[in-house]
Amino acid sequence: MIAPIPFDGPLPAPVEFRPPAERILGGDPVQRAWNLHASADGRFNSGIWESAVGRWRVIFTESEFCHVLSGVIAVTGDDGSEHVFRAGDAFVSPAGFTGIWDVREPARKYYAVYE
């Protein structure tokens, strides 16, 4: 049976990770993710993500929708444009985006990724 997947129910064990060491620019951005849904073909995933304070280079091969639940995330494109997102803000990092993610306060967000 296929049913809606609530994001406020009991969570599975998270996966903990860091960006590759060569991309970390500051802090110790330990991250955790609870992937709550994966499509059968593996191209669409959604869930909850959180990160400790830190900065790292990003290279998006996927498009990702984000809805910030807490914390502060600054995203700076290689073109120099900077956007600061706080609780309640939503944004998309499109496939092909390159730049820097700077988690300035421990952050938590909902995500939906399409690869």
For residue 95, the domain's CATH number is 2.60.120.10
- How high is the pLDDT of residue 9? 86
Residue 98 lies in a domain: yes
Does residue 9 sit within a domain?
no
| Cα gap 31→1, rounded to integer Å | 32
Does 1 have pLDDT greater than 90?
Answer: no
Q: Is residue 36 part of a domain?
A: yes
Indicate the range of 3-12, 59-68, 71-80, 88-97 predicted with least confidence.
3-12
User: Per the domain annotation, does 1 fall within a domain?
Assistant: no
The total number of structural domains that make up the chain: 1
The count of C-alpha atoms lying within 13 angstroms of the C-alpha of 88, restricted to the half-sphere facing its C-beta, is: 0
Question: What is the torsion angle, in degrees rounded to the nearest 10, for the CA atoms of residue 99, residue 80, residue 66 and residue 86?
Answer: 130
Q: Tens of pLDDT along 24-67?
A: 999 999 999 999 999 999 999 999 999 999 999 999 999 999 99
* Strand 98-114 versus strand 54-59 pairing type: antiparallel
Confidence of residue 22 (pLDDT cuts 50, 70, 90): very high
Task: Quote the percentage of the chain above a pLDDT of 90.
Answer: 97
Average pLDDT along the chain? 97
